[in-house]
Structure 1
Amino acid sequence: MSEPKIAVLRQKIHGLSAVDYAAALRDRLPDAEVTIARTPAEEQQLLESAPIVTGFSMSTEEVEAAANMDLFACVYAGVGHLDLDAFEANGTAVTNASGVHGPNISEYVLGSILSFVRGFKRAWRQEDRNEWRSYPARELQGSTVTVVGLGAIGQAVVDRLDPFGVDTIGVRYTPEKGGPTDEVLGFDEIHDALARTDYLVLACPLTEETEGLIDSEALLTLPTDAFMVNIARGGVVDTDDLVSAMQANRIAGAALDVTDPEPLPNDHPLWDLDTVSITPHNAGHTPDYYERLADILATNVDRYRHGETDFENRVI
């Protein structure tokens, strides 16, 4: 089989240029034709001819026009924004970027937990006031961390927690699959896990089952000194219930990289809560993002060359 043409869509991902992605692909696939169109018209022509396309999204019309497209490599882990039926009708395989976020987002989770444990946010406020005053802190060792979602990110979080001497509980759709945590429960047992949780990490996809999963009842089940980190999707948490719980001191704090709504309006009450830390969906940002994406696609291009269709991270 001749070297396939690879079309890289002109879309910025996490603020990084697609040019960097194309360069990473060329490093791994020196004999392949890796092309980024300069204009929308050129991109349309490229989509109509390239057997492999990679980027964030394609409209239904673009998919239907891409008669030669055998593989679309989505550069996000989630593919809910794609019309998968259109890709399937077009005979196009779709892969995602699952696993790319493991190292960077798990570091965000650990940083958020440790910042809370050692009271850094309070320290930073006192530092801004030039105020030398001792304050209480905690230890992570010996606590219980519950991770909801044991995909690539959840597993990476658990791996990085291991040296800290904590007990871990995993919550997943299919508990029979097990996982790296000390204990694995299904979603029907989540309240049992929450009642024993010191630190709650949300790393699950947003689905019908997980939408509003952390509601007033769940927040009441958590101990009042519990801390929550959400790097899943904003809709996994009922925002109004969270605001009420934080205002009533029903949990001790939260680190939110995702919110509902998103972006979070600048007059939203979450901004004014000292016990809440907010980042603008930033946990996934890393200069190594495209390097990891390129590794996945390079593996799949090699399989494509050999007529294989068991692509890594294949969705459909």
Structure 2
Amino acid sequence: MTEMDSGRSGEGPSVLVLRKGTHGTPISAYANALRERVSNPDVEITVANTPAEEREAIRDAEIVTGMSIDESLLEHAENLQLFACAYAGTGHLPLETLEEMDVTVTNASGVHGPNIGEHVLGAILWFTRRFHVASRRQRRREWRHYQAHELQGSTVTVVGLGAIGRSVCERLEPFGVDVQGVRYTPEKGGPADAVYGFDADDFHDALSRTDYLVLACPLTNETRGLVDAAAFDTLPPNAVVINVARGPVVDTDALVSALRRNGIRGASLDVTDPEPLPEDHSLWTLENVQITPHNSGHTPKYYDRLADIVAGNVERVLESGSYEELENQVLPRP
């Protein structure tokens, strides 16, 4: 039996899983996780393995889920009611077309909380205990003491208090740090000792007291270039910048300049601008920079967490008969 011939049919909504996977894990694992969680046998879950299979299956599918969907594939959709994006970000989607088609769109917000939270904590400790110095001296077989730092008593500023930002704050609780949060709606508060908005004066006020700046915000017109030359001038020289958001949140030229002149102590970059980072880029050679290839979200539990969200929404549709008020709904806009 092929994936396209799932052997299941019923009166429930049909769910199509598009062929592109992520993190090196086959998309069939995601489909299987969905099947384990959707208890109604009338819901048919199909995986398309080729472009032709996607074009055929999307004609009747009411629910489609995957990393992305392009307009050429949407041209074949005749019954589409919901696109469940498998990424937290939706800027890569043809949202205007989906809105014109009256398609509900959800995202995968929350999937990355635990794994990226752990990545950020590891990066903070890497700089606090100066493990990069230890690694360098180990490679040289050099037994020479060096002074490390303590995290306790530091101030960590977390920009973005969504699922990832909240996860970072939760993991910092046992370390005796002061946590400052930055979000669009500071009046909502959050798991931080103080919460600021994106007003320039407020933001720089937070930066001036920051030892570790964690960027976990979406890329928007307001956050593009947020950490610019002026921000680096405000940050204390002992500050470390940790970016798990998107590369363009940081002005790369300003970052390189700050690192070279000891304007900041270091940077941990899971995302860069440009991305991938070119082989000849100067960031590769700076000893106070930690680079990971946009894989802070890599985890074997990614599809399980994603399937929890999407299967829950399928169950809501079955119960209510409506594609409104779903978890992580992006369209229709609130």
> Cα deviation per residue 1:170-198 (whole Å; 9 max; x = unaligned)?
01111111111000011111100000001
* Number of residue pairs matched by the alignment: 316
| Contact kept in structure 2, 1:64 and 1:90, CA below 8 Å | no
Give the C-alpha shift of residue 34 in structure 1.
Answer: 1.3
Does residue 256 (structure 1) correspond to residue 265 (structure 2)? The answer is no
Partner of 1:239: 252
Partner of 2:54: 43
Question: Secondary structure at the residue paired with 1:303?
Answer: helix
CA–CA separation in structure 2 for the residues paired with 1:281 and 1:115: 18
| Contact kept in structure 2, 1:49 and 1:66, CA below 8 Å | yes
Give the C-alpha shift of residue 65 in structure 1.
Answer: 2.3
Question: Secondary structure at the residue paired with 1:94?
Answer: strand
Aligned partner (choices 326, 329, 333) of residue 311 of structure 1:
326
Partner of 2:145: 134
The alignment-based identity, stated in percent, is 61
CA–CA separation in structure 1 for the residues paired with 2:216 and 2:24: 22
Q: TM-score scaled by structure 1?
A: 0.98
Aligned partner (choices 24, 31, 36) of residue 33 of structure 2:
24
Aligned partner (choices 149, 168, 184) of residue 179 of structure 2:
168
Q: TM-score scaled by structure 2?
A: 0.93
> Cα deviation per residue 1:14-64 (whole Å; 9 max; x = unaligned)?
222111101111111252321112322121110111111000111123223
CA–CA separation in structure 2 for the residues paired with 1:5 and 1:263: 37
Partner of 2:24: 15
Unaligned runs of 5+ in 2: 1-9
Question: Secondary structure at the residue paired with 1:65?
Answer: coil
Question: Secondary structure at the residue paired with 1:6?
Answer: strand
Aligned partner (choices 37, 59, 63) of residue 70 of structure 2:
59
Q: Spell out the pairing of 1:85-234 with structure 2 (5 A cutoff).
A: 85-188=96-199, 189-234=202-247
After superposing the two structures, state which structure 1 stretch, 282-291 or 60-69, moved more. 60-69
CA–CA separation in structure 1 for the residues paired with 2:269 and 2:69: 29
Question: Secondary structure at the residue paired with 1:208?
Answer: coil
Question: Secondary structure at the residue paired with 1:315?
Answer: strand
CA–CA separation in structure 2 for the residues paired with 1:268 and 1:61: 36
CA–CA separation in structure 1 for the residues paired with 2:318 and 2:75: 24
Partner of 2:282: 269
> Cα deviation per residue 1:123-175 (whole Å; 9 max; x = unaligned)?
11111121111100010001100001111110110011011000011011111
Question: Secondary structure at the residue paired with 2:214?
Answer: strand
CA–CA separation in structure 1 for the residues paired with 2:97 and 2:225: 29
Question: Secondary structure at the residue paired with 1:190?
Answer: helix
RMSD of aligned alpha carbons: 1.1
Partner of 1:77: 88
After superposing the two structures, state which structure 1 stretch, 56-65 or 212-221, moved more. 56-65
CA–CA separation in structure 2 for the residues paired with 1:158 and 1:227: 16
| Contact kept in structure 1, 2:18 and 2:49, CA below 8 Å | no
CA–CA separation in structure 2 for the residues paired with 1:173 and 1:65: 38
Quick one: which amino acid aligns to residue 225 of structure 2? G
Quick one: which amino acid aligns to residue 243 of structure 2? N
CA–CA separation in structure 1 for the residues paired with 2:50 and 2:184: 44
Give the C-alpha shift of residue 3 in structure 1.
Answer: 2.3
CA–CA separation in structure 2 for the residues paired with 1:148 and 1:286: 23
Aligned partner (choices 3, 21, 31) of residue 12 of structure 2:
3
CA–CA separation in structure 2 for the residues paired with 1:301 and 1:266: 44
Unaligned runs of 5+ in 1: none
